[in-house]
Structure 1
């Protein structure tokens, strides 16, 4: 059933996992320890012992994880014929396919935030009206809420993944206090409930049919049906009966309550089904889709039964010099392939210019004498992406191409575009926005200003006018109409800031920002506190960048040129990676730089802080560079100084 070609030197740990006859196994793996390959190796063993490959369900949390599974099947020597028989997919795709048995194929699945943005914005309007009737002043979002959509969807993912409302009980009543008790804002939960009423024909388990789905919704909807007192199926036509002989779950550290509800029922319905879960619980970041380390710890034992726990300690990603401090930091055994050579360096950087020097030296080292060599194996992993404005500015000035993962470049951030639009009007700059940025700048400005244009009776009609306006018409007419239509205190602040900016004196720029009250304005258009903090950070970076220019219009002209430069850089394949730490999970790079590991900002007691640092530092293959400010080293660095 398998080919004789096996391209791996199997360790005692891997052989022990493959040979185990336990019906419930959890592999507690280290970063880079060939988790997926080991899972595939174990699947090959099941097939050799007589398991039907068509009945071995291989699940991953992400689609890249599915690709990794498929590559691993070839790596462990499974023939193409056998590999094609193995059902492989994400948990979400599996749940969608099972729901299709109940619903038919009429439920649309959406992958992009923009596909469901209209539904979120409609929910905001309804939620605001209802909330103001019951709890005046508690609903924090102003305007249409467009800028809050992505943040809300991420919070919806956490609510659904954690099944927070279901676990709160059937008598849960939404108030500002009960929302706080659940760990969410009253505004977020108010919008969530209206969004769910729009998305489905039911709420809180009452009903069966969804109108559309977004990422994670299939798993959430199926989990709710499984918990329902009156599910639309019986034991004879249960959607999770698939005749499975084994379920193999890779990336188990991303498991949440919704996934676990499905998994638990899957094992119950398919009597005798074996289970293998593989994950690294130190990579659990709870805020992401409601992931919970509970399921790799006591949760599995309590909810399903005590599994056999087997270690996978040998990392193939990096060498001993990185494995040793990571083992000390995580408090678990860590071994490394002796053939791997890695290095760790800790540097002091007190300014962004000093950080740029570190990045520039790393890029120069990678390029050597060849300007076309690959830069994509150089990554800067960020705890706070809003702090990249200065770094991005320097990279553009230096001509170093880069890409951002998990966040928008500062040139595309709505608060930056809003301020650019106001300044452009204030100094009567004739240079136009790049065509690709103009629409985003108009929309961002409308969101921060608020208001409904004369002649428009709804936000939707105002949106159409804003989108269709030329840059000249928007600057000369639409903006001034919006300022007359919005709240007086908002228009007064904006007009006051523009008056200060009209003298074109770059020395007054900080006064312009202060008069604008951008932090308070951000709290009107974003729901998450983290989004407001990122706005504050990006504006602080813009103020620092501005000091390098002689006037406001010279700053604006430079930003326009950077728009063009960024567009041309996007055409290049070789780019330095700037990524949030969360978005780097599952990735690896030759050289990783983790900046700003400072006391007070990256050393909190929250487990997520610790796990974020673990994820960031374990992405490196050859060289890990960590930076901190003078005498402000995070306590996280103690293990890396030994």
Structure 2
């Protein structure tokens, strides 16, 4: 064991002065250590300090493993090591991996061959279709509730459900005992269709439990966890690490926990993990505060938990408001007044205007647009905001979330307009035309028609054929004789004049189709169906507020798509939902639609909603703009819970204290440019050697004259 007793830190970092909390973690002596952190509390930097301290205490860098959950977090950890002064050649020796990469490496050794991933949607779709066919052969007629659709939306929804099952390790047959599919699906929390298709899919993927025929994202993690669960001896594949660290433990799920637990036990390595239990927002993917709260403590009773309460992202005013919201003891180490601005709106269009005004003010204050992000609870809220940004000529990017014109429900309505105007050619992108045909088929209920997959691509290549296809081949019936809702819509569209008000036409289509009911059929998840319904209403409202006829509105949205999809290297803002920006930070965060019924969403777990809001407000460094209804009773409960005005005087005092003490941080070490051949001379003069940076140094207070030629 390399940490025998607690002692002064061997490693002194560049540019920062670690807090007492960080030093406790850096020099902790216990074999298993957790850091329970707040947002912005330098979790990754603290792990870097832990690694650097290990190296300073003679641990071979090659016997250190650093784990993260995403490639972005992995790369940040590598950069933090260099930032604090660890030479890049030393950093290169440390194993810095995602858990998925560790799983792939381990499986390659266990299986004796390279682990390859199938990531192409087309190939994954073929595997899902095959599993659906298997279930149809075995169970149609036995269970009346099966919903075996093959649309792209249905395939995507199934893959999401499969990921949740694997993350929670709920597919193992011994998890449920009795082989009862109905009971098993209920216990696993998925529809019976998804459970049966998952069993068929996995049976084919694992070739009857023998060996993986193919893998996609997360399968390596699941397969390794499954192997460790069934044969603990598989842990012998792990290298003999002496130190293991893991970042972002709030993203941990059952599969990754099984791997990390087996890794610690098999290697006997010292383990340090950090996380923020209030950032658990991916609970549907198996993430849980339980891992930070008690799962590690159950597995390793001698574990010691250390707090990381000081944030370095924003100043005391926001930190103290967040502390009121989350009932924690966070403090700030930033000598800056992070502004909290509150704006109010009357209606959707006014909310979008307030967003634009906040962005323009940020630009007028001489800040970079790229450091500004608009963060929403759900994607349906972006419709009015995207239109306002386009109208104000403000470029934006949607890194994870699709822009509203590329979403299935809006693609369907765009297809409706194309049919009404017989102008599918106006959509210039082949990929978008394909997606529009797919959406028309899914929402009309004809996606399962024989040969439709080929027809979809043919129509995208020959857009002038769109109207004729849906007119003459609606689900295999002639339009005139069909009594379906979409046939009724087709008859209406083919008769409507091109100058009819776009809002009225789309509203009529939604009513005739009963799109709210269609959304519940297409999107099994109730929350997703609700978001889709609200997204449709937002688009219809946009059409109505435009005052344009069908033809003019059609031209407008196609031009808007060109604007929205144009690639820009600068002068753009980010637009996304809160769940997709965890781990990121911005100079200015704008959060619109802060009203009851929107944020928090009453259909979702209250704890998850509060955590989501916490993640959103804690992404900012300099300015936070909160936009809520003009009527106080409609405003989000979180605004009142933050007590922004009440904490301001205390935050002012804390800010003055930080400003007064920030200037006393003196230099603790002065590093020399001494070369290898100078080592004996500088040692005799009183210099000391830093084994992590591989440099000689003198301490504060030493006479610098003898070392003049080695000073920068």
Scaled by the length of structure 1, the TM-score of the pair is 0.91
> SS of the counterpart of 2:369?
coil
Inter-partner Cα distance in structure 2 for 1:600 and 1:563: 29
Scaled by the length of structure 2, the TM-score of the pair is 0.82
Query: Residue in 2 aligned with 1:134?
Result: 142
Query: Residue in 2 aligned with 1:510?
Result: 507
Inter-partner Cα distance in structure 1 for 2:269 and 2:220: 23
Matched, 1:94 2:98: no
Query: Residue in 2 aligned with 1:442?
Result: 437
Inter-partner Cα distance in structure 2 for 1:452 and 1:384: 27
Cα distance, 1:598–1:212 mapped onto 2, change above 3 Å: same
Matched, 1:171 2:168: no
Alpha-carbon deviations, 1:588-610, whole Å to 9, x = none? 11111122222233235532111
> SS of the counterpart of 2:426?
coil
Q: Is the 8 A contact 1:27 1:311 kept in 2?
A: yes
Matched, 1:407 2:401: yes
Inter-partner Cα distance in structure 2 for 1:424 and 1:14: 60
Inter-partner Cα distance in structure 2 for 1:201 and 1:133: 26
Among 222, 227, 235, which residue is 2:224 paired with?
A: 222
Alpha-carbon deviations, 1:222-241, whole Å to 9, x = none? 1111111xx4xx84x74443
Q: Is the 8 A contact 1:2 1:82 kept in 2?
A: no
Alpha-carbon deviations, 1:383-403, whole Å to 9, x = none? 111222122122212211111
Q: Is the 8 A contact 1:3 1:77 kept in 2?
A: no
Cα distance, 1:466–1:7 mapped onto 2, change above 3 Å: same
1:314 offset after TM fit, Å?
0.9
Query: Residue in 1 aligned with 2:552?
Result: 554
Q: Is the 8 A contact 2:281 2:287 kept in 1?
A: yes
1:484 offset after TM fit, Å?
3.2
Query: Residue in 2 aligned with 1:524?
Result: 521
Cα distance, 1:522–1:296 mapped onto 2, change above 3 Å: same
1:430 offset after TM fit, Å?
7.0
Give the stretch that moved more between structures: 147-156 or 457-466. Answer: 457-466
Among 309, 315, 331, which residue is 1:313 paired with?
A: 309
> SS of the counterpart of 1:134?
coil
Q: Is the 8 A contact 2:489 2:509 kept in 1?
A: yes
> SS of the counterpart of 1:54?
helix
Unaligned runs of 5+ in 2: 1-8, 647-712
Alpha-carbon deviations, 1:297-347, whole Å to 9, x = none? 011111232411101111110000110011122222111124122022233
Q: Is the 8 A contact 1:452 1:459 kept in 2?
A: yes
> SS of the counterpart of 2:496?
coil
Inter-partner Cα distance in structure 1 for 2:319 and 2:485: 54
Give the stretch that moved more between structures: 121-130 or 573-582. Answer: 121-130
Among 7, 19, 26, which residue is 2:34 paired with?
A: 26
Q: Is the 8 A contact 1:53 1:86 kept in 2?
A: yes
Query: Residue in 2 aligned with 1:104?
Result: 112
Query: Residue in 1 aligned with 2:627?
Result: 627
What is the total number of aligned residue pairs between the two structures? Answer: 624
Q: Is the 8 A contact 2:370 2:572 kept in 1?
A: yes
Q: Is the 8 A contact 1:406 1:583 kept in 2?
A: yes
Q: Is the 8 A contact 2:441 2:447 kept in 1?
A: no
Superposition pairs for residues 45-194 of structure 1, below 5 Å? Answer: 45-111=53-119, 113=121, 116-136=124-144, 138-142=145-149, 144-166=150-172, 169-173=175-179, 175-176=181-182, 178-194=184-200
Matched, 1:606 2:645: no
Query: Residue in 1 aligned with 2:385?
Result: 391
1:451 offset after TM fit, Å?
3.6
Inter-partner Cα distance in structure 1 for 2:444 and 2:112: 44
Matched, 1:349 2:345: yes
Unaligned runs of 5+ in 1: none
Query: Residue in 1 aligned with 2:251?
Result: 254
Inter-partner Cα distance in structure 2 for 1:129 and 1:608: 40
Root mean square deviation, CA, Å: 2.7
Specify the structure having the higher radius of gyration (Cα). Answer: 2
Query: Residue in 1 aligned with 2:697?
Result: none
Query: Residue in 2 aligned with 1:494?
Result: 486
Query: Residue in 1 aligned with 2:465?
Result: 473
Among 570, 577, 582, which residue is 1:573 paired with?
A: 570
Among 420, 445, 448, which residue is 2:414 paired with?
A: 420
1:551 offset after TM fit, Å?
1.7
Alpha-carbon deviations, 1:268-322, whole Å to 9, x = none? 111x311100111110124353111111001111123241110111111000011
Q: Is the 8 A contact 2:516 2:533 kept in 1?
A: yes
Query: Residue in 2 aligned with 1:264?
Result: 261
Inter-partner Cα distance in structure 1 for 2:641 and 2:328: 13
Inter-partner Cα distance in structure 2 for 1:487 and 1:62: 50
Cα distance, 1:538–1:125 mapped onto 2, change above 3 Å: farther
1:120 offset after TM fit, Å?
2.5
Q: Is the 8 A contact 1:451 1:486 kept in 2?
A: no
1:488 offset after TM fit, Å?
11
1:353 offset after TM fit, Å?
2.0
Q: Is the 8 A contact 1:362 1:378 kept in 2?
A: no
Q: Is the 8 A contact 2:311 2:334 kept in 1?
A: no
Inter-partner Cα distance in structure 1 for 2:429 and 2:549: 24
Q: Is the 8 A contact 2:165 2:188 kept in 1?
A: no
Q: Is the 8 A contact 2:324 2:641 kept in 1?
A: yes
Give the stretch that moved more between structures: 251-260 or 112-121. Answer: 112-121
Matched, 1:279 2:275: yes
